[in-house]
A and B are shown apart, each in its own frame.
Chain A
């Protein structure tokens, strides 16, 4: 049992951080459906003064190019911890994350992230929030503006391009968050309960919008949610985690075309199956 403290990423001045725009093009030779990202034996141990807690243990999965996988699990399990490790915001105790043959040890623009509480810059307008990543990557002003415009339109916020963040509703804020991640064309997009802070109706609208976006442009997405319904509605595969320590309990393939019908008997049946898996987790506790 490795006894190691959690270390937050700390490379000097972020010099080796991936900063490039359009990192998805680095992996364009990988055909759709082949493995783009592999997560190998991820293990996270939290060390406190008295004891150590194994939050994630032996989490291994290959993410195929162009698929959306979602991670569900009993509340309090290490869903977000896993996602933060993939993002490089948290250094795992052991294990590694690879995109192609590049090992991801620190955060970078090749793994775009959408946060549950939006994480938008309040002093920037919608447009300048979306432009942030391109700005730090050194994209020219004209191109920045043109691309930001396109993505703001794609998420339906063209009337609010120059609005300040506090003038927007929750759903609109998250659309900015999504546009900000998408516009960078990262190799993989990580979404940490992106619709968790929204009301049920807005949530459904956002799920439909995300469905549209992923059917129009090929994106590889890892989606963390506590909603089985959402996972089933959006993803190609649903990963069900065990309770602490989190490891993969079951993987459910979802082969249906999008948009999906929540009232379809097969949908309901599969949802019941996944809920049963989660229930088993709670019983085992």
Chain B
């Protein structure tokens, strides 16, 4: 029997997607392997050494400090989540206010434009000096997530369809009711987009902040520490963990934002 690919069959599409990803990853590993062979440098371990170190890390934890992988991950994630929640709690009211009041927005936006292009990691030494290792790293995450969230919320508020405001007025809604029942719901998809972008940047920030040798710290610290010991396969294993966790966070954000946008009826 001759197999025929059917674009409209869900399972065919899934298998096709799976095959492409598998082959793509295989080619990726081959390129990595080739680079490590050509470079012939201890700082670039080949994939197989790295996977050995990864299996070791998962089973026995960090041989130097005696900490388990779970300890590192939870240390990183807790800073990440705290930084994210802090950014959300602060960006949401400020974004709604700035979106709503034109003068305020015009007044504050020069500050935003000055601060926003600064790489969050540039704040790390100052924050760590001022607030200690853990809170400093959390604040770096906060900065990374705060600006994409804020600008997306402001954009969402200013982009609201004015005819919806008109409709609510002719239905008798007070301005406070318009704010809570029309403005906020219509901003949600933009908020979700801000979260999506913010989480990606935030995850990069946490690892970068931990590279500042945070003694109490997370998976970024593990990578930095392994490099100082010259344990490169171990360091690469740590990088793989970072990549997987990053994928999981952005994947989750993507999924939630899709669900929410659909629920709010704004993506159809």
Nearest B residue to A190, CB-CB? B170
Mind listing 22 A-B residue pairs with CB under 8 Å? A12-B175, A14-B174, A14-B175, A17-B172, A19-B173, A19-B174, A88-B169, A88-B170, A107-B166, A108-B169, A113-B167, A119-B163, A121-B185, A123-B188, A123-B264, A123-B265, A123-B266, A132-B173, A136-B168, A136-B173, A165-B265, A190-B170
Interface footprint category on A: 35 or more
Q: Produce 1/0 per residue, B180-194, CB < 8 A to A.
A: 011001101000000
Which applies to chain B's interface (DSSP): helix, strand, loop or mixed?
helix
Residues from chain A with Cβ under 8 Å of B167 in the complex: 113, 115, 119-121
Q: B64 at the A/B interface (Cβ < 8 Å)?
A: no
Given the complex of chains A and B, what is the CA–CA distance between A164 and B261 in angstroms?
12
Residues from chain A with Cβ under 8 Å of B174 in the complex: 13-15, 17, 19, 136
Give me 12 other A-B pairs in contact (C-beta within 8 A), A12-B175, A109-B170, A123-B185 excluded: A14-B169, A17-B174, A89-B170, A108-B170, A108-B172, A119-B163, A123-B186, A123-B263, A132-B173, A136-B168, A136-B173, A166-B268
Whether the Cβ atoms of A111 and B170 lie closer than 8 Å is yes
Whether the Cβ atoms of B171 and A133 lie closer than 8 Å is yes
Residues from chain A with Cβ under 8 Å of B268 in the complex: 164, 166-167
Residues from chain B with Cβ under 8 Å of A111 in the complex: 170
Whether the Cβ atoms of A184 and B172 lie closer than 8 Å is yes
Whether the Cβ atoms of A19 and B172 lie closer than 8 Å is yes
Given the complex of chains A and B, what is the CA–CA distance between A184 and B172 in angstroms?
10
Q: B34 at the A/B interface (Cβ < 8 Å)?
A: no
Q: B129 at the A/B interface (Cβ < 8 Å)?
A: no
B24 shortest CB reach to chain A, Å: 35
Residues from chain B with Cβ under 8 Å of A13 in the complex: 174-176
Known contacts A132-B171, A136-B171, A180-B171; A119 and B164 CB within 8 A of each other: yes
